[in-house]
Homo-oligomer: A and B are copies of this chain.
Amino acid sequence: MAQSLLTIDLGAICANWRALAQMNAGETAAVVKADAYGLGAEPVAKALADAGARTFFVALAEEGVALRNVLGPDVTICVFGGHMAGDAALIRDANLVPMINSIDQMLRHVEALPGHPFGVQLDSGMNRLGMEPAEWSALRDIALSQKPVLVMSHLACADERAHGMNAFQLQTFRQMTDGIDAPRSLAATGGTILGPDYHFDMTRPGIGLYGGLPFVDARPVVSLAIPVIQVREVNPGESVGYGNSWVARVPGRIATISAGYADGIIRAMGPKAHVWAGETRCKIVGRISMDLIGVDVSAITKMPETVELLGRHQSIDMLADAAGTIGYEILTSLGGRYARRYVGG
């Protein structure tokens, strides 16, 4: 087998959900957009539903339809993107709850699906999704008379506890929603950790479920074992990989391992990243290519059959540091070519 093995711990995902749920008194939903952050919306959402999650969030109506087919009729499925042109049949048939982001979407929704459940997304300062304060002022009474199932917003800087944006967005959200009857939600993982002021009636954790920062106590969820295809000796002056970007200075040994940027091992991490061969950290050498990576295994006496890129020695956030990105992108980049094993569900 040259196929790498991605192991996904559904038990850890559920434990993370329960831990986040215990931090707040309201309902704890689960964000499973983007194929559950790359980990497989079907098994992940099933496990979370078994663990007690009752409300799920996706980005697109199409994701919501797929999720409804998996979870059956008894859960609530909310769509962050709202009600887009052409979505009415999907929303109706799969009984999705669009988070209405604008007056245009509100008009589209009540015209196409009068009486169909919806939520409202407000912009409290991130300027990404949701109604602006002025729009909301104009629409608020009409919207609230239609009984939205949720009124929500999203924080831009919740992973930085001390950032002034958090208090600013909290204040804006309160100004826009204090006194309404509808349930309210502001916090994803970061906001959940910020504390009770941010919790309102529902929290919506995503990254924390999947073992990533800013939930520092999260249980890790993924491990990735990559097979070694062959090992060769290199002499000083020999280069490894495309563009001759790495040249041996001393005699050594190079393993070629069977995964690459086509598997979501972000090419930019090449110069800084490591894999683990047993208990030994081994530097990636040369450019990461599409299906293959060179690794300096000069320190290894007995070469294992696989090396670890993610797992006990290296978290998604450590690997993200090497790639100059965030753990979220490490997860969503995980490729389709891995054998996937789900444990602990």
Contact = CB atoms under 8 A, between A and B. Distances in A.
Interface of A: 1-3, 33-35, 37-38, 59-63, 80-82, 84-87, 101-102, 104-105, 123, 125-129, 132, 156-157, 160, 163, 165, 227, 229-230, 232-234, 238-244, 254, 256, 258, 260-262, 264, 266-268, 286, 289-292, 294, 305, 324-326, 328-329, 332-333, 336-337, 339
A328 B258 CA distance: 17
B129 A230 contact: yes
B262 A332 contact: yes
B256 A128 contact: yes
Contacts of A329: 261, 267
Name the residue among A1, A163, A238 with the largest chain B CB count within 10 angstroms: A1
Contact of A127 (B129, B239, B333): B239
B60 A244 contact: no
Identify which of A35, A165, A229 gathers the most chain B CB atoms within 10 Å of its CB: A229
Contact of A1 (B87, B326, B336): B87
A290 B87 contact: no
Which 4 residue pairs of A and B lie closest in terms of their CB atoms, listed nearest first? A34-B262, A59-B291, A2-B81, A262-B332
Given A34-B291, A165-B244, A229 B81 contact: yes
Contacts of A292: 59, 128-129
Given A156-B242, A163-B244, 8 more contacts: A2-B84, A3-B61, A34-B262, A37-B262, A59-B291, A81-B291, A128-B240, A261-B329
B326 A230 contact: no
Contacts of A85: 1, 305
A58 B224 CA distance: 21
Nearest to A227: B84
A139 to B, nearest CB: 14
Contacts of A241: 126-128, 156
Q: Which of A60, A61, A80, A101 has the most CB of B within 10 A?
A: A60
Nearest to A328: B290
